[in-house]
């Protein structure tokens, strides 16, 4: 049977969006409590009864959380314009070599706004 699992990670970070118009509130430095859904998908092992250990997903994502948590995202290579869309793709690209069953990354910038990236 095909299964999708979601592991949630979170981090606090500041950013500003340099491509937004002058005077736009998001062009100023501000912060978010980012929530990220890491979704893996694949065939569930019928004998084992699970797709993958959630702890293994946490191990793979831990270095990224360490890199992002309590930093200014604009200072991280590849995130000079750290929109939710750009951040979702950046996280996906960092994880896919280590998490081949990765289906999508969903970045919640606020409780009502998110972006998701599911690869090319």
List residues with catalytic annotation: 26, 70, 109
Q: Are strands 30-43 and 113-117 parallel, antiparallel or unpaired?
A: unpaired
- What's 45's DSSP letter? B
Which helix or strand (DSSP H or E) is residue 56 part of?
helix 54-68
Tell me the C-alpha distance between 42 and 119, whole Å: 15
Of 20, 3, 5, which Cα lies nearest the Cα of 84? 20
Tell me the C-alpha distance between 29 and 37, whole Å: 24
Q: What are the residues whose beta carbons fall under 8 Å from the beta carbon of 1, sequence distance 6 or more?
A: 43, 44, 46
């Amino acid at each position: 049977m095909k299964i999708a699992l979601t592991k949630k990670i979170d981090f606090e970070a500041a950013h500003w969006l340099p491509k937004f118009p002058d005077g736009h509130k998001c062009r100023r430095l501000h912060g978010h409590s980012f929530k990220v859904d890491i979704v893996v998908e694949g065939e569930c092992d019928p004998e084992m009864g699970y797709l993958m250990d959630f702890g293994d997903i946490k191990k793979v994502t831990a270095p990224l959380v360490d890199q992002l948590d309590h930093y200014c995202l604009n200072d991280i290579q590849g995130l000079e314009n750290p929109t939710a869309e750009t951040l979702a793709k950046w996280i996906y690209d960092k994880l896919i070599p280590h998490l081949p069953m990765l289906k999508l990354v969903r970045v919640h910038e606020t409780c009502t706004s998110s972006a998701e990236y599911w690869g090319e």
